[in-house]
Chain A
């Protein structure tokens, strides 16, 4: 049956992706839920929660709040929290509850701005979509709201879009400097709202995960900043390269741009053929001929079996689903899949 998971567990949802983008920007983030979603996001999908404080709160909705649509109460609670914390903007992130009751986010945004006198963003998440969808919406909303002004371009300044723990692992500025030069600024990780506001100073952008493409397009249209896609070389990738992959037919499964980079590195080192598969967004213009989208675990099995792959490079939580396939499985951690950043199962920095 489609959408029945017997061997895998659910991947990071859109609301986690949205919070991951907003996390370091100094806003007051309200997860519009009853408590469980915030618990999952903070306790599982956000590794920074344990070492970097952020004003991420649950709306603490109760059944009558949802049934009666008490948005005014939510805004009153938000305004009260604004008075108790030092924040630059407010953000409301959706979950299944507002999705079911069809919350009017535009109204919420206006109400929040009127009450708090701070800018507000609302990210329409539903909990049914995947993390890169939430990241995409959050990046776009942030740039649309805050990057309205054109600043003078700084030559050589490179904007990195798409770095979040879920998409790329937690990365320090060092890894970007190594891969993209000293003038690289990573939006929303290791930099604040100020860099988002001055995004037009970049003379190029590099999008490193699929959730950043729409924002890249927006900045291109708005300020004429060209973008390319890439991904920094991580220790996890270097570890994969230690395997002898000569003459193999290989499938790499990850978010598209990490998988593309992995393919590039493998092909630079070994004579082999490599396809990319992804559970997440697959953009045709960045895909190879044999690349494909994997909608569920059943399709993963079918695609791997039908593809005749010798090696599948995939987060090891998926190895269970592929145990009967006659191919070699190599671990390639993806936090959005397993909630694991390193090969030991610990939530540590990739960089």
Chain B
């Protein structure tokens, strides 16, 4: 039996981004979709995959045009997430794929779906998959035909798993798709949008207070728009704030078509970096933010937790509302231990590998997707707590915080909530 592959932070930092080992690069090995990875390693697996994300437009429905296999997991999603009345399927057979004849059926299918719905949809999202990626289907053209026949806006969504490492991967493409129905409007100086997530930020995030203090009156997020009319008002924003890099392409599109500029921030757990980002944001919008209360309050919470539990040792997974490496670096800099990280290392987060290597050179970095993870067995330094349900899968007998709730943590309030959850998990484990 072989052991799961890992590399220490120090070895990886020394090797450099250009020499990341093959086992950490998903394109260079078969992919192990272990229970630890299912939630994020499939375009349609759990949470907000392309299908669910495509329904972010209020009142929309989705027609999935694909072989039956692509819609299979939607059965569960429909049942658990209340999407039963919003998903429809046009199944392709072998002849459709060979001849492309399904393309001529789609407009009629859209019309039939529209007529079937008691409450008429605001838009029909047409989701296509790898088959049409390979056939080179022009779904924009088909969508226009659908609009003519059914009299409803029709938007293509591309669930092209084949293009996951391309410039516009499926989750970035769907973010573009969901904002594509916005039409130019007169911009309102006190309006702005937050882009990046398909569910709202936690209500207590200080970002709302800080922005309101700077004179912003209307902060819109697509997930908080209850009607199509509210969604349409997103086009009057003075600027977009991008909190997830996968929404960058959508923001660029909105800048191009609606003239809305954008500012990008990253979700971080290092409070000094959070402070720096807020100051940069204030500068960019010509305002002043005073985040002292939030900064000090959060620092106090971290110290209180540390006093209670000491420098406990973490394992950090990948399916969580954080960048695993940034979170690990933040925890290390607060004086905790992180002995294992399960992560995808890329150009964007390699800087955190270097930072981790300085604080904890022996931290082991694993790839969730490596076939060697089939043989993963906990070893080495005892883990006190896990963050991420993938880490929790590997250390089933250790307290764990999933940290992948739909409501999105952000800023200082996100850090405080994380430590609150960690405290609950450790208390629950009788520590």
CB within 8 Å of B: which residues of A?
1, 3-6, 9-16, 30, 33-40, 42-45, 49-50, 53, 55-63, 66-67, 77-78, 80-81, 84-86, 95-97, 99-101, 126-128, 130, 317, 320, 338-339, 345
Contacts and interface: CB of A to CB of B under 8 A. Distances in A.
A67 B134 CA distance: 8
Given A60-B30, A127-B67, A10 B41 contact: no
Contacts of B2: 84-85
B150 to A, nearest CB: 13
B1 interface: yes
Contact of B29 (A11, A63, A77): A77
B265 interface: no
Interface string B10-54: 000000000000000011111111010010011111100000000
A97 B38 CA distance: 20
Interface of B: 1-2, 26-33, 35, 38, 41-46, 66-76, 78-79, 84, 87-94, 97, 105, 108-109, 112-113, 116, 129-131, 133-135, 159-166, 371-372, 374-375
B1 to A, nearest CB: 6
B31 A57 contact: yes
Contact of A128 (B43, B67, B116): B67
Given A4-B113, A49-B35, A339-B76, 13 more contacts: A9-B72, A9-B74, A11-B72, A13-B69, A34-B162, A34-B164, A35-B164, A36-B44, A39-B41, A63-B134, A77-B28, A126-B94, A317-B79
A40 B97 CA distance: 21
Contacts of A100: 97, 130-131, 134-135
B130 A96 contact: yes
A128 B94 contact: yes
A339 to B, nearest CB: 5
Contact of A10 (B89, B93, B159): B89
Contacts of B69: 10, 13-16, 37, 40, 95-96, 127-128
B353 to A, nearest CB: 23
Contacts of A63: 133-134, 160, 162-163, 166
A109 B304 CA distance: 60
B34 to A, nearest CB: 8
B38 A42 contact: yes
Which 10 pairs from chain A and chain B are nearest by CB? A39-B42, A34-B161, A127-B69, A13-B69, A10-B68, A57-B30, A127-B67, A43-B38, A5-B89, A58-B31
B30 A77 contact: yes
A331 to B, nearest CB: 14
Contacts of A60: 26-27, 29-31
B42 A40 contact: yes
A43 B45 contact: yes
A36 B35 contact: no
B259 to A, nearest CB: 33
Contact of A9 (B75, B165, B371): B75
Contacts of B372: 84-85
Contact of B75 (A10, A86, A96, A128): A10
A128 B151 CA distance: 30
Given A80-B29, A128-B94, A6 B44 contact: no
13 contacts: A1-B105, A3-B90, A3-B91, A5-B90, A10-B68, A44-B76, A57-B31, A58-B32, A62-B164, A63-B166, A100-B130, A100-B134, A317-B79
A319 to B, nearest CB: 12
Contacts, number: 211
B94 A99 contact: yes
A86 to B, nearest CB: 6
Which of B33, B41, B88 has most chain A Cβ within 10 Å?
B33
A84 B372 CA distance: 6
Nearest to A297: B89
A303 B288 CA distance: 69
Given A9-B74, A60-B26, A62-B165, A36 B87 contact: no
A6 B90 contact: no
Contact of A43 (B30, B73, B165): B73
Given A4-B89, A6-B113, A81-B371, A66 B30 contact: no
Contact of B73 (A1, A11, A40): A40
Which of A13, A43, A130 has most chain B Cβ within 10 Å?
A43
Nearest to A42: B33
Nearest to A11: B68
Contact of A84 (B70, B113, B130, B371): B371
Contacts of A14: 69
A168 B26 CA distance: 35
A101 to B, nearest CB: 7
B42 A38 contact: yes
Contacts of B70: 10, 36-37, 40, 96, 127
A26 to B, nearest CB: 12
Contacts of A57: 30-33, 371
Given A63-B133, A97-B130, A44 B73 contact: yes
Contacts of B29: 60, 77, 80-81
B30 A30 contact: yes
A33 B75 contact: no
A43 B162 CA distance: 19
B130 A34 contact: yes
A152 B93 CA distance: 44
B165 A10 contact: no
B6 to A, nearest CB: 13
A219 B131 CA distance: 36
Nearest to A77: B30
Nearest to B1: A86
Nearest to B5: A84
Which of B76, B78, B105 has most chain A Cβ within 10 Å?
B76
